[in-house]
Structure 1
Amino acid sequence: MVCELRREFKFPLKQLLAISELSKATYYYWVNRFERPNKDEMIEQVMLEIRQEHTNAGYRPMVELLKQRGIYVNHKKVQRLMKKLGLRVTTFWHKSRKYNSYKGKVGTVAKNKLHRRFNTSIPHQKITTDTTEFKYYDKGVQKKLYLNPYLDLFNNEVISYEISKQPTYQAIATALQEALELTSDCLYRRTFHSDQGWAYQMKNYVFKLKSQK
């Protein structure tokens, strides 16, 4: 404001600073800042072009879409530039629920033998598992992956796992088979603990566990 008034009305700088209650150092700081070239002009232009194609892309998709054009910028800078350019997200996705494999009783529900006793001094005796959903972006599109790990409660080591694009029984069964083979050296009865979701109630899953000695 001080700079503009001085250019238009040619007021003495000292008088303008007194009226605006600005220090001389502050005045020259902003003069130099206004005259500084915009180093992000090219990135900003590309972001504006992307926003015309993807009208509601937030900063995460924007980072991925910039990468596709050979521009690698961290998400904090993208957030700052979007705020500067006024690229607000006007439509929000509803927060998705955490994946829950439990769909009620669809097969055999095993007894809870651990009863929250999640510690053991014996390797490969107590194994726990669950399906975890992860979200990621591919070419600006949100996608999901499902991780099926088997964890040894002796040392919290992941002894086997399988990743799939859908929550399938086959992925769980593949990881289970590997876990069974790796823990077969245990001299004690093994316990495989899960949340008793639909896949863990299936006949094939229960049969595999019961067939182990």
Structure 2
Amino acid sequence: MADLLALIGLKRSTYYYLEAHPLNTSSDNKIADVIRQIKSPQFQTEYGYRRVTTLLHDQGYLVNHKRVRRIMRQNALLSTTYNTRKCRYNSYRGTVGRIAERVIKRDFQADAPYQKIVTDVTEIQLNDHNKA
């Protein structure tokens, strides 16, 4: 037995664990059949694993949501509708407020102090934080 396990590159403890805990049991197959009935085209909606878990609980199956998700993933029943959001949050709403006139027109020379007082409202992004 040790030679066969060494040949396929599997540790002895892993072999005995997999023998004691089979990946696809008959109860998983039964739950997968019920999930297929729930996700049949007659419902006209795309149910995710959370709603499927709730419906299984309503039918009397006491099953964990992690197990439902694993069974749905193994049988290619996971919903792909809500997995499309890949971008970060962006709160840009276009031009807000009014834009001041360019009165100085880059002529910053003055004859006396306090004749031209200006400020800068440039926004810089530093370490994923906006600084004004």
* TM-score (structure 2 length as normaliser): 0.44
Choose between structure 1 and 2 for higher RCO, CA contacts under 8 A separated by at least 6 residues.
1
Task: Tell me which protein shows more strand as a share of its residues.
Answer: 1
For the pair shown, the structure with the greater C-alpha radius of gyration is 2
